[in-house]
Amino acid sequence: MKEMVRLQGITKKFGNNVIIPSLDLTIYDGEFITLLGPSGCGKTTLLRMIAGLETPTEGSIYLDDENVTALPPYKRDVNMVFQHYALFPHMTVEENIKFGLMMKKVPADEQKERVAQVLYLTQLEEFRNRRPQQMSGGQQQRVAIARALVNNPKVLLLDEPLGALDYQLRKNLQLELKNLQRGLGLTFIYVTHDQEEALTMSDRIVVMNKGVIEQDDNPDNIYHYPSTKFVAKFIGESNFFDTETETLALRPEKLNLCEEAESEDKAAAHPEPAFYGTVVDVVFYGTIDKVFVRLDNSNQTVVAYQYFDDVKRWTPDERVGIWWYERDEVKVQR
């Protein structure tokens, strides 16, 4: 695969405040890669450094094999979709989209053609003469994407582009964006703190915490085989069991509940419970019940997801055994 962006020994400090200690990352051509992490983890700073809006304190940034570390944003062949769109309020939709082409002195008829193309692609044709402030959030979002895409950048940078939209709209736009990226074969670097968004859209997820990459893998592995406790906690829910030598992470849907006193043949049908405990709460979530169990002889409460076709529905104060298959255990770094 062809390298598109290479970050080499990137360090970023604001005064004495170290945002990114030292980071290496390679992004390949045509990839949809997501930088995922809580706010303040350095993901946006990293994206802004690729755009040229921030300068790394140390390290180098390569774009398509060219060292761009010292280049200002207007000399880099990348474009950004900003978190709050940052559309020019004194220009129409069409003027906003045309801005980048005008800056690059693209011939007028080619400008027209390319603008028409992205207007079609983003279904904005009927809004071309509107001002941004006359449009809904979802429409403004599309304009922001069109304004960046029209320049045919080598890499499209997206900084929480769906963060300001409501849930339903976000869901729809996630799919649209993913399809757009697949269709154009463009490299997308996407920043979000929304793990669900990351899992749905990405080819690869880079989970960041305090400026450090915790895990860099495909969504499947990130979810099923988190390599650190942080990743297991940040993406989905996890139960942790500490043994003398290691920590085991278990997804709630992998925990099974059984009655404390079972008939022999029932008990023989599954592994022996690792723990016994008392149900403290049962919360209905539509497709599942979340059952919270306080373990005997410890303060730990674990959560197990119960699908209704599985087993009986539990009620608080019931005694339960908790068992799982060994294959579902994930050893994580503490």
Partner 1 sequence: MMKNGKLLVAPALLWLSIFFVIPLLIVVAVSFAGRTPYGQVIFSFTIDNYLRFLEPLYLKIFADTLVVAIVTTLATILMGYPLAYTIAQLPKKWQQPGLILVMIPFWINFLIRSYAWVIILRSQGVVNTLLLNLGLIDQPLQMLYNDMAVMLGMVYALLPFMVLPIYVSIEQLDTRLLEAASDLGAKPLTAFRKVTLPLTMPGIAAGTILVFISSLGMFVVPDVMGGAKSALIGNLIQNQFLSARDWPFGSALSIVLAVLSLVLIILYYKALQAQEGGDGDAKDVA
The site for partner 1 (CB under 8 A) is made up of: 51-53, 72-74, 78-80, 82, 84, 86-90, 99-100, 103-104, 131, 133-136, 138-139, 147-148, 151
Of 201, 179, 182, 186, the closest CA to residue 150 belongs to 186
- To the nearest whole angstrom, how small is the minimum distance from the Cβ of residue 148 to partner 1? 8
The nearer residue to partner 1, 89 or 183, going by C-beta atoms, is: 89
| Start-end of H helices in 29-92 | 43-51
- To the nearest whole angstrom, how small is the minimum distance from the Cβ of residue 87 to partner 1? 8
Please name the residue that has the structure tokens 């757009």. 180
User: Around 320, how many Cα atoms within 13 Å sit in the side-chain half-sphere?
Assistant: 28
Query: Is residue 241 within a helix (H) or strand (E), and if so which, with residue range?
Result: strand 239-242
Please name the residue that has the structure tokens 């990137």. 10
- Cα separation of 36 and 66, whole Å? 26
Helix or strand or coil: residue 205?
strand
The nearer residue to partner 1, 151 or 256, going by C-beta atoms, is: 151
The nearer residue to partner 1, 51 or 186, going by C-beta atoms, is: 51
- Cα separation of 202 and 218, whole Å? 8
- Residue environment code for 290-302, b if the CB has 16+ CB neighbours within 10 A, otherwise e: ebbbebeeeeeeb
- To the nearest whole angstrom, how small is the minimum distance from the Cβ of residue 172 to partner 1? 13
- To the nearest whole angstrom, how small is the minimum distance from the Cβ of residue 120 to partner 1? 19
- To the nearest whole angstrom, how small is the minimum distance from the Cβ of residue 111 to partner 1? 13
The nearer residue to partner 1, 161 or 277, going by C-beta atoms, is: 161
- Cα separation of 71 and 52, whole Å? 7
- To the nearest whole angstrom, how small is the minimum distance from the Cβ of residue 287 to partner 1? 31
The nearer residue to partner 1, 129 or 315, going by C-beta atoms, is: 129
The nearer residue to partner 1, 28 or 82, going by C-beta atoms, is: 82
- To the nearest whole angstrom, how small is the minimum distance from the Cβ of residue 247 to partner 1? 42
Under DSSP, the state recorded for 245 is S
The nearer residue to partner 1, 88 or 307, going by C-beta atoms, is: 88
- To the nearest whole angstrom, how small is the minimum distance from the Cβ of residue 82 to partner 1? 6
150 touches 100 (CB < 8 A): yes
The nearer residue to partner 1, 81 or 258, going by C-beta atoms, is: 81
- Cα separation of 187 and 157, whole Å? 9
Helix or strand or coil: residue 31?
coil
- To the nearest whole angstrom, how small is the minimum distance from the Cβ of residue 53 to partner 1? 5
Structure-token pair, residue 51: 């755009």
**For the sheet containing 66-67, what is the strand order?**
17-28, 3-14, 58-63, 66-67
The nearer residue to partner 1, 107 or 286, going by C-beta atoms, is: 107
- Residue environment code for 239-255, b if the CB has 16+ CB neighbours within 10 A, otherwise e: bebeeeeebbbbbbebb
Under DSSP, the state recorded for 313 is P
